[in-house]
Structure 1
């Protein structure tokens, strides 16, 4: 047998026995990288979609180099759509309000990862700065705007307070987003509106300067970034650690302040347990 032919046959035998040439190993590595898991990230739509993506896309891009998986931001046009999706377990990761977390944990087992440790969440009731209303009782029989029935501080807890504590009779107008609430009040379309301080601060000056806060609800731990339990524990922890590490940089702090999440810390389900005794289920509406 000629030497060249013999060498060729020998190479085929070695390859058949499972010895892979160096070039093939490199190609396999590339394929493995391409096949990295892709996880969806849902975000409660406190703002209109364009602004929401403008806030969250840069954060995801900044996190990506530290992760062995990819994150895909998934939007929802309004809060009820977001609720149906997390109750069905459609999101792998989700940024949601505290009461949403309790519902998501009950239905799907979602696990909180991080939250803002610098503040607590309160609902606020705003009126036009020139309106005659200074007390909640004066709004009896008036129209009040809310983002949606289940927006926690702005609507769910606010409505619980108005009805349980103040025995107020009012006409709710659900306008989908916090920004729409503030605009309705600023333009005089409703007598008052429910919101939270963080979203009020992010309104354009020409809207914000027309509003006045007349009531604040009790406080609670702020929105957590959470994970569905189907996401492997090592990937949940990897995102948590990447998030906390990004928050130690100036660039990361600037990005997260837009959420807002000013001082990310580890979140636990126990942080939200007290809300179970607040009787909010009576005011929760699944649309």
Structure 2
């Protein structure tokens, strides 16, 4: 049903959106397996370990930014992280942070070893945050993804221009699909989100952005197309209440990166595990659960459109200018 009440003030809307998102039941998945995990104090040693002079290896620290909300992140990524640990015969420690910037900061400080990050933070931080990409997921036969601009299925909006004066949800400030792309679209129109929309908010995950639109807490949002398609196929309770009105051109999919501080042999081992994961029955099963066919070695040209877009957005003239990208699909 379309909204008919007057728009709320920016502050009140932002508060209500975030409170409602926090209280929404997580219907994407039927159950949580948090109880399967126990906290382990790696500083404690057993009697056998105390007698053994062999140095105890530190756990592999794996970070996941909040591309999806915390509970779903835990469920989605626990199997792949456990798989990597089993192949290395090494304990793994899952590290979660709210923003992509926090994960980049951990990589820069050598606070983590491996990370699942967004394409935007990869492009913007790889030169300064001290990490390199080792694997890119292939989905539907391509190592690429798109940003989807979504609205409620019953809304009258058909184009981005129709959203002028409406309410909008970004995901993370550094997200490619959830922030950079819609900002780029608006700059092509000669405007900014702060001027174009009635109000904006941040959900800090793609599933929360989808839910916000489905619940009509906001009029529109930009999300990772892979996640929207995943929910459409696996559990469309919320995504089915939305529809896509615009898609970006393809970009290199969010890569898996490793800290440059890791030993070369460990980097090589991690890359090999991921790039050959689809050849192993157990690995193939885990990938299928994530709708990933396999991982491929990243190529710089896959991420070149993001670099061009970031460069275009850094121009502060506020005009249309020459857009250094391919035409929209």
Give the whole-Å Cα distance in 2 for the aligned partners of 1:123 and 1:42: 23
Residues 198-277 of structure 1 correspond to what in structure 2 (within 5 A)?
198-203=226-231, 204-259=235-290, 261-269=292-300, 271-277=302-308
Larger radius of gyration: 1
Between structures 1 and 2, the one with greater helix share: 1
User: 1:36 touches 1:68 (CA, 8 Å); kept in 2?
Assistant: no
User: 1:112 touches 1:269 (CA, 8 Å); kept in 2?
Assistant: no
The answer on 1:164 being equivalent to 2:164 is no
Deviates more, 1:217-226 or 1:198-207: 198-207
SS at match of 2:120: helix
SS at match of 1:209: helix
Aligned residue number for residue 36 of structure 2: none
Q: Which runs of 5+ in 2 are unaligned?
A: 1-47, 315-329
User: 1:122 touches 1:153 (CA, 8 Å); kept in 2?
Assistant: yes
User: 1:89 touches 1:108 (CA, 8 Å); kept in 2?
Assistant: no
Task: Please give the TM-score of this superposition, normalised by the length of structure 2.
Answer: 0.70
SS at match of 1:227: strand
TM superposition shift of 1:178 = 0.8
TM superposition shift of 1:95 = 1.1
Give the whole-Å Cα distance in 2 for the aligned partners of 1:81 and 1:109: 14
SS at match of 2:279: coil
Q: 2:103 aligns with which of 67, 75, 82?
A: 82
Q: Which runs of 5+ in 1 are unaligned?
A: 1-25
Deviations 1:100-155 (A, max 9, x none): 11233221331110112332111010011110001111111111111122111122
User: 2:100 touches 2:118 (CA, 8 Å); kept in 1?
Assistant: no
Q: CA RMSD in A?
A: 2.6
Deviates more, 1:208-217 or 1:40-49: 40-49
CA distance 1:213–1:87, shift in 2 (3 Å): farther
Task: Please give the TM-score of this superposition, normalised by the length of structure 1.
Answer: 0.80
Aligned residue number for residue 103 of structure 1: 124
The answer on 1:35 being equivalent to 2:56 is yes
Residues 120-159 of structure 1 correspond to what in structure 2 (within 5 A)?
120-159=144-183
